[in-house]
């Protein structure tokens, strides 16, 4: 049987996608706003956890109230993998845009509903049960939210700007936190502590509804991503892989065929989100409950830190397009490993300036991770299974990272050791370092399974020239290897009497 090699068609300018700047801006705005909506809730929840403990778990001690409130935050992460599998399959079958419209509806309604739940004093045990159900609905929607949004931005972005444009997704995350924290401080300051604990804590959750309506409007108006449209076009031309009869890729297949990418994704997300939840969700409670600062004082410090992070975030993404994503993953992991204990020495010093410096160290380390995560993860999987694979990997690691506030609160209470958060971070720093050293660089390369993407025709010509130069270099390398092998062959021939 003679095997015929399929002739590879040369790549020309017409094969490079020219991305429309206006569509890119709309895509980033819609994705970032949805992400801001998600983290607005998480920010509000983290900053009012001390009040929720009193409202929904009034009979417990203050320490148990805090752990219980943060535990309600962590439990929904058990649901996130299910949401990831569900929305990932839908995203690969029907497209990214439709799924992102659905997730923001579920998120906004469930967040709004938290503000409607009566306290334990009114309906007893049903109060914490309803709170948990709302959080589980959020977890289900978030299972497809971040991964879908990062894929959406990555598939719209030109190859040379994917790091910078992807960094705005987590800019939205931080902005959501800042907005949530700022709203909590403003309302508690205006109403006073007593009124805020009585009913004022509900107001930030009510804001989720109008934010969700705006986000839904923006996402509904978007077109599908160029990469997914290309995949649909291939299907219509006879390529049946992945969509016509529904998703054919199981998690088992992803794990066996793309296990390196899967492990890399899990490592990056675990290291990033443990640091994220430690700094932005647990630290407000740590400052108020364990270090005995007034709630508003701790919140104001965190807000100042997050505002600083907003300015650093796009800069990290921009630089990663020049030097790559790997250096930031490695540097962030090393920083987390060696600076966590010094940071907490400053945080526990009792001096505001030093506390701010300690939190700033953790914030800069976090920026190194989140500045490149949204551009790194989608590049690891091919188009036809990108949503399913990334959602599965992302939510498995988030399942671990989401336990951070509850686990660290319990460890601190159990050991009376205020440095437990630092030790916890150092464990995941090792995970991040191993991942960073072993991962493949993805900067300035087309997404797997997608055509190269450029901002304009001039850039497309440069990309095509680089592609041809790369082919020429590979041919030269192969020629050199052939020459070396030929020399070895000749040397062996000369040693054999009959062949010679």
Nearest Cα residue to 148 out of 221, 225, 82:
225
Q: How far is it, in rounded angstroms, from Cα 412 to Cα 282?
A: 12
| Chain Cα centroid distance, residue 469 | 34
The arrangement of secondary structure in 18-228+251-455, i.e. its CATH architecture, is: Up-down Bundle (1.20)
Give residue 241's pLDDT. Answer: 47
> Half-sphere exposure of residue 44, counting CA atoms within 13 Å on the CB side?
28
Phi, psi at 186, each rounded to 5°: -60, -50
Nearest Cα residue to 89 out of 396, 450, 389, 394:
389
Residues of the chain with confidence (pLDDT) below 50: 1-3, 240-247
The domain limits of the chain are 18-228+251-455, 456-500
b/e code 285-315 from CB counts within 10 Å (16+ = b): bbbbbbbebebeebbebbbebbebbbebbbe
Q: Which two tokens mark 198?
A: 């009585």
Q: Which two tokens mark 123?
A: 């309906």
The predicted model scores a pTM of: 0.77
- pLDDT tens digit string along 458-499? 777 777 777 777 778 888 888 888 988 888 888 888 877 777
Burial class of 235 by CB neighbour count within 10 A (0 to 12, 13 to 18, 19+): middle
Q: Could you count the other beta carbons within 10 Å of the beta carbon of residue 386?
A: 30
Phi, psi at 445, each rounded to 5°: -120, 150
Give residue 69's pLDDT. Answer: 67
Give residue 130's pLDDT. Answer: 87
The CA distances from residue 476 to 8, 155, 472, 483, in Å, are 19, 32, 6, 10
CB 230 within 8 A of CB 450: yes
CB 437 within 8 A of CB 330: yes
Cα dihedral 195, 196, 197, 200 in deg (nearest 10): 100
Q: How far is it, in rounded angstroms, from Cα 445 to Cα 229?
A: 19
Nearest Cα residue to 115 out of 189, 50, 52, 185:
52
Give residue 3's pLDDT. Answer: 47
Residue in the block written with tokens 């680089």: 466
Sign of CA dihedral 4, 10, 14, 18: positive
Q: Could you count the other beta carbons within 10 Å of the beta carbon of residue 447?
A: 24
> Half-sphere exposure of residue 412, counting CA atoms within 13 Å on the CB side?
25
Q: How far is it, in rounded angstroms, from Cα 326 to Cα 309?
A: 20
Output the 3-class SS for the chain. CCCCCCCCCCCCHHHCEECCHHHHHHHHHHHHHHHHHHHHHHHHHHHCHHHHHHHHCCCCCHHHHHHHHHHHHHHHHHCHHHHHHHHHHHHHHHCHHHHHHHHHHHHHHHHHHHCCCCCHHHHCCHHHHHHHHHHHHHHHHHHHHHHHHHHHHHHHCCHHHHHHHHHHHHHHHHHHHHHHHHHHHHHHHHHCHHHHHHHHCHHHHHCHHHHHHHHHHHHHCCCCCHHHHHHHHHHHCCCCCCCCCCCCCCHHHHHHHCHHHHHHHHHHHHHHHHHHHHHHHHHHHHHHHHCCCCHHHHHHHHHHHHHHHHHHHHHHHHHHHHHCCHHHHHHHHHHHHHHHHHHHHHHCCCCHHHHHHHHHHHHHHHHHHHHHHHHHHHHHCCHHHHHHHHHHHHHHHHHHHCCHHHHHHHHHHHHCCCCHHHHHHHHHHHHHHHHHHHCCCCCCCCCCCCCCEECCHHHHHHHHHHHHHHHHHHHHHHHHHHHHHHHHHHHHHHCCCCCC
């Amino acid at each position: 049987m003679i095997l015929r090699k399929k002739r590879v068609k040369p790549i020309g300018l017409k094969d490079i996608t020219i991305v429309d700047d206006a569509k890119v801006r709309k895509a980033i705005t819609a994705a970032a706003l949805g992400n801001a909506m998600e983290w607005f809730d998480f920010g509000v929840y983290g900053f009012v956890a001390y009040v929720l403990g009193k409202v929904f778990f009034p009979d417990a001690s203050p320490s148990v109230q805090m752990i219980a409130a943060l535990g309600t935050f962590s439990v929904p992460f058990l649901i996130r993998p299910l949401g990831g599998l569900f929305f990932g399959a839908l995203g690969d079958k029907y497209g990214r845009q439709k799924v992102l419209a659905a997730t923001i509806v579920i998120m906004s309604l469930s967040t709004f509903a938290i503000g409607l739940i009566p306290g334990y004093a009114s309906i007893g045990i049903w109060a914490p049960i309803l709170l948990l159900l709302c959080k589980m609905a959020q977890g289900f929607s978030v299972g497809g939210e971040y991964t879908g949004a990062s894929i959406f931005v990555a598939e719209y972005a030109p190859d040379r700007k994917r790091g910078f444009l992807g960094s705005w997704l987590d800019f939205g995350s931080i902005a959501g936190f800042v907005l949530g924290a700022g709203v909590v401080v403003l309302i508690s300051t205006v109403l006073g502590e007593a009124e805020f604990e009585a009913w004022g804590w509900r107001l930030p959750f009510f804001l989720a509804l109008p934010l969700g309506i705006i986000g839904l409007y923006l996402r509904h108006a978007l077109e599908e991503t160029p990469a997914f449209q290309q995949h649909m076009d291939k299907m219509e031309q006879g390529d049946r892989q992945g969509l016509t009869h529904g998703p054919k890729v199981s998690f088992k297949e992803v794990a066996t065929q793309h296990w390196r990418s899967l492990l890399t994704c899990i490592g990056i997300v675990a290291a990033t989100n443990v640091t994220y939840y430690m700094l932005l969700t647990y630290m407000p409670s740590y400052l108020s409950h364990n270090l005995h600062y007034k709630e508003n004082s701790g919140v104001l410090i965190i807000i100042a830190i997050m505002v600083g992070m907003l300015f650093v975030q796009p800069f990290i993404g921009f630089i990663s397009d020049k030097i790559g994503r790997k250096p930031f993953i490695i540097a962030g992991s090393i920083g987390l490993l060696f600076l966590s204990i010094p940071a907490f020495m400053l945080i526990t010093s009792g001096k505001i300036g030093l506390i701010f410096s300690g939190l700033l160290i953790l914030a800069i380390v976090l920026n190194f991770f989140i500045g490149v995560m949204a551009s790194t993860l989608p590049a690891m999987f091919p188009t036809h299974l990108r949503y399913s694979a990334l959602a599965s990997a992302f939510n498995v690691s988030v399942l671990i990272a989401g336990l951070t506030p509850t686990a660290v609160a319990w460890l601190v209470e159990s050991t009376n050791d205020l440095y437990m958060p630092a030790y916890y971070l150092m464990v995941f720093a090792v995970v991040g370092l191993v991942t960073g050293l072993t991962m493949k660089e993805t900067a300035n390369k087309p997404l797997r399974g997608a055509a190269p993407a450029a901002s304009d025709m001039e850039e497309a010509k440069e990309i095509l020239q680089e592609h041809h130069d790369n082919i020429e270099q590979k041919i030269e390398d192969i020629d050199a290897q052939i020459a070396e092998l030929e020399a070895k062959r000749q040397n062996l021939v000369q040693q054999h009497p009959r062949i010679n």
